[in-house]
Amino acid sequence: MTKVTLAKALNMGLRKAMETDPKVLIMGEDVGKLGGVFRITDGLQKDFGEDRVIDSPLAESGILGTAVGLAMRGFRPVCEIQFDGFVYPAYDQIVSQVAKLHFRTQGAIKMPMVIRIPFGGGIGAVEHHSESPEAQFAHTPGLKVVSCSNPVDGYWMIQQAIAHDDPVVFLEPKRQYHADKADLDEEATPPPLFSSKVLRTGSDATLLGYGPMVKTLMKAAEAAAGEGRSLEVIDLRTLSPLDMGPVFESVRKTGRAVVAHEAHTNLGMGAEIAARITEQCFYSLQAPVLRVGGFDTPYPPARIEEEYLPDLDRVLDAVDRTMGF
């Protein structure tokens, strides 16, 4: 049992994956000598060499496009996009090639690729460094999209994503990289990659989130408990496919749901989740499913990002509103 941060856990997970399968490659900007701007790939080039930990030219489409060719040759590329807002130059390769090649070839070729993206805000960064583009990828058939919220999940989920035969967009909450340490048992058996998880049980309402929002939801549930309100918290973990089973079960019990994310509310993951809950749990609902999200503006300048990001108070405000129905 070791105490590790999310950054360290991801680094350990990547190392394990590279040891397990010689076909695993890491590619991206500054991932080699520097170890990535967040140090997630720290030390890997030194131990696995420049052929397996590839410092790429500064061209995101180039990274993803060459990763397609490497995958066709039998490799399993793990591509790092340095920041969420820099993924768009690679968007065409991701959406039109990575996501569609299995379909186009009726399964003749697979795209076992992981696209790691540090995402979300709260680090006081300049523009394009704090975005949450998950819905754009979850909306794309052919991709799978997951997000880890804590070090233990980070360690296991990155390995599971690399071992998976479909392309996985792997969203890492950059605000959590160095925030908290958790006990990591490397001998444990992890839950399946594409599964959501109940983190806290409760009876009055269900809080749903993923990635950076999970910590906020847990704090909100803790605060609500002090006021005599019992909230259930579910870490969705997988955004495409969604694992709605535990969500439906929870909402049928509580009758109320609040879904939160940093991404823009309009057409965000919350909209899809609310629709599915409404379709499947209509007669159990005591109130409409409420969404708490980033506003439908571009991500704001850093000095006001704490107002923009959903926080404990905005989550609890939504809980109050749902209880008011």
Partner 1 sequence: MTEYLVPRAEGDVQYVQLLTPEGYRVEHPDYAFDGGEDEAGTIRGFYRDMVLTRRIDTESTALQRHGELGIWAQLLGQEAAQIGSGRALRPQDYVFPTYREHGVAYCRGLDPLRLLGLFRGVDQGAWDPHVNNFANYTIVIGAQTLHATGYAMGVQRDGAVGTGDADRDTAVVAYFGDGASSQGDVNESFIFAASYNAPVVFFCQNNQWAISEPIERQSRIPLYQRARGFGFPGVRVDGNDVLAVHAVTQAALQYAREGNGPTLVEAYTYRMGAHTTTDDPTRYRLTDEVEYWKLRDPIARVKVYLTRNGLADHDFFEDVEREAEELGARLRDGCRALPDPSPLSIFDQVYAEQTPELEAQRDEFAAYLDSFEGAH
Interacting residues toward partner 1 by CB under 8 A: 25, 51, 56-57, 59, 61-62, 64-75, 89, 92-93, 96-97, 100-110, 112, 141-142, 144, 164-166, 194, 240-242, 244
CA–CA distance, 300 with 257 (Å, rounded to integer): 28
**Residue (145 or 218) nearer to partner 1, CB:** 145
In whole angstroms, the minimum distance from the beta carbon of 244 to partner 1 comes to 8
Maximum pairwise Cα distance, the chain: 60
Beta carbon nearer to partner 1, 43 or 141: 141
28 phi and psi, to 5 degrees? 160, -175
Cβ-based nearer residue to partner 1, 34 or 126: 34
CB atoms within 10 A of CB 149: 26
- Rounded to an integer, what is the distance from CA 115 to the centroid of its chain? 11
Give me the least distance between CB of 169 and partner 1, in Å please. 14
Q: Is 129 a catalytic residue?
A: yes
**Nearest distance from C-beta of residue 230 to partner 1, angstroms:** 30
Could you tell me the smallest distance in angstroms from the CB atom of residue 123 to partner 1?
29
Which of 136, 283, 294 has the alpha carbon at shortest distance from 209?
294
**CA–CA distance, 293 with 197 (Å, rounded to integer):** 21
- Taking the C-alpha atoms of residue 136 and residue 257, their distance in angstroms, rounded to an integer, is 23
212 cis-preceded (ω within 30 degrees of 0): no
Q: Which of 129, 164, 261, 264 is catalytic?
A: 129
Map residue 251 onto helix, strand or coil: helix
d(CA 266, CA 245): 24
Residue closer to partner 1 by CB (options 55, 317) is 55
Alpha carbon 60 to chain centroid distance?
20
Ranges assigned E (strand) in the chain: 2-4, 24-28, 53-55, 76-80, 114-119, 144-147, 168-173, 182-184, 197-200, 205-209, 231-235, 238-240, 257-264, 290-294
For residue 45, give both structure tokens: 């080039």
CB 83 within 8 A of CB 36: no
Of 264, 151, 273, the closest CA to residue 207 belongs to 273
Least distance CB 256 / partner 1 (angstroms): 24
Which residue's CB is nearer to partner 1, number 168 or number 260? 168
Q: Which is nearer to partner 1, 46 or 104 (CB)?
A: 104
In the complex, the smallest distance separating the C-beta of residue 9 from partner 1, rounded to whole angstroms, is: 24
> Measured from the CB atom, is 235 or 272 closer to partner 1?
272
Active site residues: 129
